[in-house]
Amino acid sequence: MLTRKAVRWHTKNLFPHPVTEILLGLMVLATWYSLQDARKMGLYEFEVIVETVFLPVYGILVASHVFKGQRVTLFELTLFNGPKQVFIGRLVSATAGLIIGIFSIALITYVQGYSSLMAPVLLKLPTYLAMIMVLMVWLDSLGGVISFYILTSAVPMALFVILTKPYPPSPAVSLLAYFLSPIEATVGAGKLPVSVSTGYTVTLFLSATMILLSYMVFKTRDFEPQ
Amino acid sequence: MIVEAENLGVNYGRTWGIRGLTFKAKTDRLALIGHNGSGKTTLLSVFSGIRHPTTGRAVINGWEPYKRKDKWIAIRYSFEKPQFQIPVKVRDLVEVLKANPRCPWVDDLVEALEITQFLDRRIDSLSSGQSQLCNLLVALSCDSEVVILDEPTAHLDSYRAGIVDELISKRTGVIIATHDVEEGEAVADYFLILKEGRLVWSGTRKELFSNDIYEVTLIETGGQLPFKTLYRFGATLIVKAEGNELVDMLSKGIIAGFKRAGLRYAYAKSS
């Protein structure tokens, strides 16, 4: 009962939310037209627009509902009898918010005939969730948003540059690419020393581990209410 | 409730929030008194279990709060400066509390704190006083073993502050931090005075009010009294006098009132 209340508490005002809806509309349009252009120009435009611009900003709007200061977190921990309900509430809230945007993009890739892009787009869900939950444990709203943007936009941009070079990146960088920019890694998989299936498996495992660890830390961490 | 500290210390990098605190208090309501930055909130954060001490240990009724797995149920905590960026209505907060089987006094508290007046306001649009009332509602409406309140009336008007103090004085297992000596004296039966993170005085109500030192309020702000004035705070004087002499001055209209000097004197003396 209390867990359900915690989920409702955290999903309140997530949707409908005018800014999120406008961004979702723009993201859908940008995805649609970039995939139409892809027949002539390749997938580069789609990769840049979706992976480094729209999905990160959309992720920030969703994540801002769970990045909270220590005082709010303490208040919620007291209100919901401890970390389990608060963590589940935030995880479900972030999942619900991300699913709408990510599934929309995945659906468009399928409709436009690029079904091979569905998997890396859907892979954004566990990776974004993992990053959101880890950042949520330590950082407040501003710190969380900035860090999330760096991890989901700035780092993938840097990886774009690395992956366009003629020589192959190291296995570690390849795995990082699968985790942080799976669309780019999948499109350029032929150049990577790590296969798509291995990359996806490691990404899923890493995401699940990060979410689990973030819960363990959230459960035991100290707070400074001042 | 038995509250103990053994060489308790908490540091923030090179700065110690509290240091070397040792005491044992058997009490229903413990008040921590001290000025801003004296270590009250740090000590509260250890007793509420949200922070581990750097040195020593803190114990309530035989258990260390930060080690307790059910600390969020056993201890309810209301902290200072409540400004919550939470986009839900106060009504939703009340509904959540009502769904919590450990919070049986929600309706009574909503009524007593007059929260009914702003039930349909969003929490992130409340004034600091209204946020404080919501904060207190969460802490006081549940049947926890210990309630920890950091400056519970700091943002409240005197009317609501009086209601809150009355509610607190009826509870047991309360640890309250305040820099308001009147509030401390109104609710607590054991006192700790902190300065610069160290304990400078501790004692019961009896020990606090056990001497011939009085706190006197003058009618004229610049007035003098024929007694030895120990400390002066505007029109309030701490004097050493006999009670019958002060009754005489009261009847002559020289002083507005007097009472045994309590926390104000203990606090000033320990400076």
Q: What is the pLDDT of residues A47-78, one digit of tens each?
A: 888 999 999 999 999 998 899 888 889 889 99
Q: Which residues of A touch B41 (CB under 8 A)?
A: 225-226
Rounded-to-10 torsion of CA B75, B76, B81, B82: 140
Query: Nearest-CA distance from A92 to chain B in Å?
Result: 17
Tell me the CATH architecture of domain B2-206.
Answer: 3-Layer(aba) Sandwich (3.40)
pLDDT at A226 (0 to 100): 59
Beta carbons of B81 and A79 less than 8 Å apart: no
Nearest to A19 by CA among B106, B140, B87, B262: B87
| CA–CA gap between residue A24 and residue A30 (Å, rounded) | 10
- What residues form DSSP beta bridges with B195? B198
Mean residue pLDDT across chain B: 91
Whether the per-residue pLDDT at B221 is higher than 80: the answer is no
Nearest to A102 by CA among A125, A120, A119: A125
Task: Find the helix packing angle between B128-140 and B158-170, rounded to 10°.
Answer: 10
B73 touches chain A (CB under 8 A): yes
| CA–CA gap between residue A112 and residue A43 (Å, rounded) | 12
| CA–CA gap between residue B196 and residue B34 (Å, rounded) | 9
| CA–CA gap between residue A122 and residue A112 (Å, rounded) | 16
Phi and psi at residue B16, to the nearest 5°: -95, 125
pLDDT digit string, tens, across residues A15-50: 667 888 888 889 889 999 888 887 888 888 888 889
Q: In what order do the strands lie in the sheet with B228-233?
A: B228-233, B236-240, B213-218, B255-260
pTM for the structure as a whole: 0.88
| CA–CA gap between residue B1 and residue B169 (Å, rounded) | 14
Q: What is the mean pLDDT of the segment spanning B192-217?
A: 90
Q: Which residues of A touch B52 (CB under 8 A)?
A: 222
ipTM: 0.84
User: Measured between CB atoms, which of A1, A8, A222 is closest to B50?
Assistant: A222
Length of chain B, in residues: 271
B residues 100..119 contacting A (CB < 8 A): 100, 102
pLDDT at B211 (0 to 100): 78
Confidence of residue A196 (pLDDT cuts 50, 70, 90): very high
Domain with CATH 3.40.50.300 in chain B: 2-206
Tokens encoding A139? 């950082």
pLDDT digit string, tens, across residues B107-150: 999 999 999 999 999 998 999 899 999 999 999 999 999 999 99
Residue of B42, B48, B50, B147 best to disrupt the A interface, most CBs of A under 10 A = B50
Report CA B144 to chain centroid distance, whole Å. Answer: 18
